[in-house]
């Protein structure tokens, strides 16, 4: 029984991380959230006062900092050097700036390399924007998760509310649409469905239904 590479891509707040975590758990696989890496780089750049579209300055910063992950019962924890940034990288300030940082070639090259190293032995569910197209083009299973902007904004709204973060629904909808636009139109590894990815629309599905659908797709490939 081979250990598979499973790529789950899609736009912001389509439910990738929730679903990817559950699929990984069912299979006994590692889960890797590549968005968290881009968010951690953004956090570090803001903290150092680096211009977020300064490709060279970001490259230099990346050679000096260490981003690390620690699995825990509560989910993956994220560190930049000694600082834990797990919660901070979910703040709106990061969400609204991460696409600028993620469009820089030096950042994409460094993180893609890192992600390929993490996935090399398979047994991994990796979620992001360009996993099926660029990071793991040979992944045996590729899922492209989508949902309407309205539904995605509503999900993020409920999540934020539970965390005590107050953001208005229309604002969220605009921010999500703007992040989709930036991620889809950037020059390097834009958000696009891989030719061999299977699209799963989660707009009217529960989390359990989405996981069941994906598990079926995986069983067919295994
Ligand atoms: O998945 P998440 O919303 O945490 O991703 C944050 C941002 O990181 C995305 O909007 C995108 O700009 C960037 N990203 C990316 N490539 C990936 C994962 C995330 O460009 N593989």
Whether residue 209 lies inside any domain: the answer is no
Residue whose CB lies within 8 A of the most ligand 1 atoms, among 90, 91, 128, for a mutation test: 128
Mean pLDDT over residues 185-204, rounded? 95
The reply, when asked if residue 12 is annotated as ligand binding, is yes
Mean pLDDT value across the chain: 94
- Regarding the beta carbon of 35 and ligand 1, being less than 6 Å apart is answered yes
14 annotated to bind ligand: yes
Residue 126 lies in a domain: yes
- Half-sphere CA count of 126, side-chain side, radius 13 A: 33
111 within a domain of the structure (yes/no): yes
How many domains is the chain built from? 1
Protein residue whose Cα sits closest to atom 15 of ligand 1: 129
Q: Residue 221 domain-assigned?
A: no
Do residues 171 and 92 lie in contact, with contact meaning Cβ atoms separated by under 8 Å? no
DSSP symbol at 171: H
* ipTM score over 0.90, yes or no: yes
Q: Does residue 216 lie within any of the structural domains?
A: no
- Per the listing, tokens 């934020």 go with 160
- Encode 183-207: b = buried (16+ Cβ within 10 Å), e = exposed: beebeebebbbbeebbebbbeebee
Q: What pLDDT shows up at residue 1? A: 60
Task: Output the pLDDT for position 116.
Answer: 97
* Ligand 1 centroid – CA 205 distance (Å): 23
**168 — pLDDT class (breaks 50, 70, 90):** very high
Q: Whose CA is nearest to atom 1 of ligand 1?
A: 35
Closest CA to 34 of 78, 80, 64: 78
Cβ of 6 below 6 Å from ligand 1: no
Q: How far is the CA of 35 from the centre of ligand 1 (A)?
A: 4
State residue 166's pLDDT score: 85
Structural domain includes residue 211: no
Tell whether residue 11 is among the known ligand binding residues: yes
Looking at ligand 1, which residue's alpha carbon is closest to its atom 19? 35
For the Cβ of 142 lying below 6 angstroms from any atom of ligand 1, the answer is no
Domain span including residue 164: 5-204
| Residue 163, C-beta contacts closer than 8 angstroms, at least 6 positions apart | 90
The answer on whether 68 is annotated among ligand-binding residues is no
Q: How many angstroms does the Cα of residue 2 sit away from the middle of ligand 1?
A: 28
What percent of the chain is predicted at pLDDT more than 70?
100
Backbone angles phi, psi at 29, to 5 degrees: -100, 165
pLDDT in tens, 130-157: 999 999 999 999 999 999 999 999 999 9
Query: What average pLDDT does the segment 21-47 reach?
Result: 96
Residue 33 lies in a domain: yes
Question: Is the distance from the beta carbon of residue 136 to the nearest atom of ligand 1 less than 6 Å?
Answer: no
> For residue 86, what is the domain's CATH number?
3.40.50.300
Q: Is 183 touching ligand 1 by the criterion CB < 6 Å? A: yes
Whether 222 is in a domain gets the answer no
Given a cut of 70, is residue 18 above it in pLDDT?
Answer: yes
Report the distance separating Cα 19 and Cα 25, nearest Å. 10
């Amino acid at each position: 029984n081979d250990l598979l590479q499973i790529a789950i891509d899609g736009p912001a707040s389509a439910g990738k991380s929730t679903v990817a975590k559950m699929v990984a758990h069912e299979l006994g696989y590692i889960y890797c959230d590549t968005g968290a890496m881009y968010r951690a780089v953004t956090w570090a750049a803001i903290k150092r006062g680096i211009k977020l579209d300064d490709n060279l300055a970001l490259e230099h910063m990346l050679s000096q900092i260490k981003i690390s992950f620690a699995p825990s019962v509560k989910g993956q924890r994220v560190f930049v050097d000694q600082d834990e940034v797990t919660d901070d990288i979910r703040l709106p300030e990061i969400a609204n700036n991460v696409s600028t940082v993620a469009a820089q070639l030096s950042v994409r090259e460094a993180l893609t390399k890192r992600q390929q190293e993490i996935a090399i032995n398979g047994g991994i569910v990796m979620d992001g924007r360009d996993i099926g197209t660029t990071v793991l083009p040979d992944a045996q299973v590729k899922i492209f998760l989508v949902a309407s902007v309205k539904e995605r904004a509503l999900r993020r709204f409920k999540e934020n509310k539970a965390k005590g973060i107050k953001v208005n629904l229309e604002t969220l909808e605009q921010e999500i649409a703007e992040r989709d636009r930036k991620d889809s139109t950037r020059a390097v590894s834009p958000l696009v469905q891989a030719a061999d990815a299977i699209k799963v629309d989660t707009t009217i599905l529960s989390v359990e239904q989405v996981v069941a659908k994906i598990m079926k797709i995986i069983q067919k490939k295994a």
